[in-house]
Structure formats: structure tokens, C-alpha cells
Structure 1
Amino acid sequence: MSIIKKDSRPLYMLVKEKIDEKIEQGDYKPGDRLPSESKLSESFGVSRATLREALRVLEKEGKVNRQQGIGTFITEKAALFKSGIEELNSITKTIESMGLKAGTIELELEFKNEASNLAKEFDLSTEEKLAILHRTRTANGEAVAYCKDYLPYKLLAKDFSKDKITTSLFEFLQNEVNIYITYAVADIIPVIADDFLADKLELKVGDPILLLKQMHYDDRDNPVLYSKNYFRSDKFEFHVLRNRR
């Protein structure tokens, strides 16, 4: 006997919704293997063809993973933020695009000389300093990223202080310093949380983290900002569009 209450929609969509409900209610948890197709179709009172179409839609939505000859599995919890790395957006904008409130905690600022490759990238002399901004970014109050940003002090106003960073760093540079960032060169590196990052991101030591290192350039191709952003891998997922030449 079918447990699907029929309406005007296709039957496979009703089956799909019923599986959605079981996922939301916790009957099916991330990583669980679903019962066989024969058992599922019998429990829902539908044909195997109808069930397979429902599973196809769920797989397209990223909710299940079908492995030939093994079974169908509930996917692990999806990342909260999914972003194409070819799109250069501030973390603030990324968080707000999900309808969440972006925030900053533990904001610290230091000025120091950097006799390193980074100083050479910015074409700094040994006497010139970098402004280094440390901050934890939040979404609806939850820590989702730890950021370390480096800016040549010579580009900033003499009275620059951490209190002036009330919006995204991109917006601050554009509105207050007249620097418009147009592109960045980025590297994504998988790392694990040490004691420091685990504390900042409310993780356990050894948990996976995504490190996004970027050198940002203005509209005259000058390097103006270098950032090291550590993202919780359970909150952020990056993808890139690759074209074949």
C-alpha cells in the first residue's frame, strides 16, 4: 500500500519529498546508506522506476550519492557557503548573500617591518611597514573564518586604526583610501587546525581547514593587499570553472 498521498504533481516528486522529510527529521543521517531500491519502492508503494527518478533528482540536488553496485548514500552535510573562486567577493558579501549577518570579532591591528618576499612583492624598503589586520569573521554570530590581511602602511591614512574597519575591507579601501581592487591571484591549500586556529574557529585540533592565500591588485595592476583566510571546511566550499582550450 502506498504511503504517498497523491496530488497533481508527478509521483516521483512526491517520493522525493518524502525522502527529503526523512533527511530533515534525522531518520536518514549524513553518511547513511539507504535501503535497497526494492525495499524502498515497496515501502513507498511505488515502482522501482519511480523511485529511481526520485533518487536521480535528489542526486542532482547533492543530497544523495549513488555508487554503482554499492548503494545510495546520504551525502555529508553540505557547506553553508558555496562560491566560485573565479568570483572575487569579500567575505562580508559572501555571508550576506546567504541572508546571514556578517560580523567581526577579535579584531587586532599591528604594524611591523617585513624583510621578506612579501615586502618585495609590495616593493617596500626595509624602513617601510606593513599594517597587519587579524580578525575572526562570523555569520549570525558563529565563527566561520579567520583572516590575516597585510597592507602597505604607505597606502593608508596616517590616522588609520582598527576602529575604521566597520565594513568589508574591500569597501573600506574603495571608500576611504580610493583603492579599487579588480582581481587577485589565489592559492587554495588544505590544512589542519592547530591550537590557535582551533580556538579561533571553534574547532578541534586536527580538523580540516581551507586556507585561501591571495594577492590582490588594484585597477593599475599594483599589489595592494595580501590575505591569508582560513575557512571552516564544513562552512565553505569553493569551486572553479575550467575551460578546455
Structure 2
Amino acid sequence: MASKQEKIKQRIEDYIRDSGIGQGEKLPPETVLAQAFQVSRTTVRGAIQRLESEGKLLVKHGSGTFITRPLPAIPSSLDRLYSIGDMIRSAGLQEDEQLEYIKRLDSCPHDIAEPMELRRQDPVIVLERTRTANGEAVAHSINYMPEQIAEAILVDGSFAGSLFQNLEYKAGVRIVGAYSEITVPSRTDLHARRLITSPQSAVLLFKQLHYDELNRQVLYSFDYVRSDIFQFWIRRNR
């Protein structure tokens, strides 16, 4: 049996549909909705929080609650290696990016050197950027590559397009697989916070060691993705 909060959540959705309120328009105040539905303001607030976690509402404290148009979920099988750009485009969304930087580091960070089997004195190229779908931030990545492999993609401090394709066509490196560790980053993680759009938002962190056709470790990535947008699945056999 549905809880009172779940019933009010459905009534709010019905109200939005039947009243013709559009994207960007404001929902009536909680007190008005509570009176209309003859429930407590706490019940209405809980229902609104659920709708916000689903990306259907945006609560701006001091301004009100606004109707949003949630992005469709982007499904992906965990047993296949897709780039973030490929996943965004496969969902029929417009992919774009915001470059933070691409630069050379004279020495490799310790937590990268070990899995990449590099020495601390080995220089690396670092690429950091935010990926968007239909103008909304959905992923943030930090990529580390050995300079001797990826120096061809470092041009005047700029970068655009698919990292996989840039490595393949400019550096002759074709990525064929990756070992991936999936974790939930701390809510104080500054990279994760870029993607948190509401208190109910959640972010997944993929720590990924990519290798090429020669089984060389060619790329280590920290990929933060919004779990309300990217949905991952895997088939398990007994």
C-alpha cells in the first residue's frame, strides 16, 4: 500500500500535468498545497523532496519550487567499455564539454604512478573537464596519461572531442579495455559537488585503468557521473 507521502507525490504530479504548468514555472507554496490536499505541510515537503530527487522539481530556498524537465536516463552495460561522450550521444542528447585544463606535470602523483607502473619522476599529461548533456553537467573527469604516449594530444593548452579518438588518431594508441573500480565519493569531494544539483543528488566515481592492444597502461581516469542520469547494469550468471 502506498504511503501518504507517495500518494501526495502522485497528486502533485497530476496537478502539474492537469494545470499545464510548464518548465521553469513555479509550483504553489507548500502551505497552499497542504491545504488543497488536506495533509500536513511536512507530508507535502517530503513529497516535493522525492520529486526533486527524481529531477522533476527544483527547490530554490527563498525563491520557491520550480518545474524542471529531467534528462532521460542513459543506460550502459558494465561489461562494455564506452566513453562518456558515446553514452550521452547514444541517448540522443546533445554532448558538449567545459575544459578545465590540459597540462604537463613534471612528476607523476604517487596514487597514479603505482597503478600505471610509472616512476614518480616520469612526466604525465593531465586533462580535466566537465561533460554536459543538453547543456546540463552530467559528468566530470580527470585523466592521467604518460607523456611519452600522449604528448601528441597536448597542443597549445587546448583540447576538444573524444579522448579515445584523440589518442587513437593523434598518438596511435587504441584503448581496448579497462579495469574499473566503482565507488561513492564523499559529499565533500569538490569534483563530485560540481554535479550535485540537489540535496538528494548522488554521484558515482569510476576509477579506471585503461590499457591498449599491447596491454600497456595508457590512461588512468577519475570519472564522476550523475547516478540519476547514468544507469549501469550487468548480467550475472549462476
Residue 194 in structure 1 maps to residue 181 in structure 2: no
Q: How far did 1:120 drift?
A: 3.2
Please state how far the C-alpha of 1:158 moved relative to its aligned partner: 5.7
Question: Is the contact between residue 102 and residue 157 of structure 2 (CA under 8 Å) also seen in structure 1?
Answer: no
Normalised by the length of structure 2, the TM-score is 0.65
How far has the Cα of 1:99 moved from its partner?
Answer: 1.0
Q: Are the counterparts in 1 of residues 116 and 220 from structure 2 also a CA contact under 8 Å?
A: no
1:86 has 2:46 as partner:
no
Question: What is the Cα deviation at residue 203 of structure 1?
Answer: 2.4
Name the counterpart of 2:161. 167
What is the Cα deviation at residue 135 of structure 1? 0.5
Identity %: 32
Counterparts of 1:121-160 in structure 2, within 5 Å, are 121-157=115-151, 160=154
Which residue identity is paired with 1:91?
I
Indicate the residue corresponding to 1:114 in structure 2: 108
Count of equivalent residues: 178
Shift of 1:218: 0.2
Residue in 2 aligned with 1:98? 91
Residue 217 of structure 1 deviates from its aligned partner by 0.6
Q: Following superposition of structure 1 onto structure 2, how do residues 15-26 of structure 1 map, counting pairs within 5 Å? A: 26=13
SS at 2:87's partner residue? helix
Which string of whole-angstrom CA distances, capped at 9 and with x for unpartnered residues, describes residues 89-123 of structure 1?
Answer: 11111100111111111431232212524213333
Aligned pairs (5 A) from 1:22-37:
26-27=13-14
User: What CA distance in whole angstroms lies between the structure 2 residues aligned with 1:169 and 1:106?
Assistant: 12
Which of the pair has more CA radius of gyration? 1
In structure 2, relative to structure 1, the CA distance for the partners of 1:162 and 1:98 (3 Å cut) is farther
Q: CA RMSD in A?
A: 3.0
Change (3 A) 1:189 1:121: closer
Superposed CA deviations along residues 214-239 of structure 1, whole A, max 9, x for unmatched, are 10010111110111111112111111
What is the letter of the counterpart of residue 180 of structure 1?
A: R
The one of 205, 230, 233 aligned to 1:236? 230
Return the TM-score normalized by structure 1.
0.63
* Pair 1:216-2:210 in alignment: yes
CA distance in 2, matches of 1:167, 1:159: 11
Separation in 2, partners of 1:158, 1:184: 22
Change in Cα spacing, 1:158 to 1:168, as seen in structure 2 (3 Å) is: closer
Which of 181-190 and 156-165 deviates more? Answer: 156-165
Structure 1 residue 208: Cα displacement: 2.1
* Structure 1 runs not aligned, ≥5 long: 1-22, 30-73
For 1:190 and 1:98, the matched residues in 2 are separated by: 24
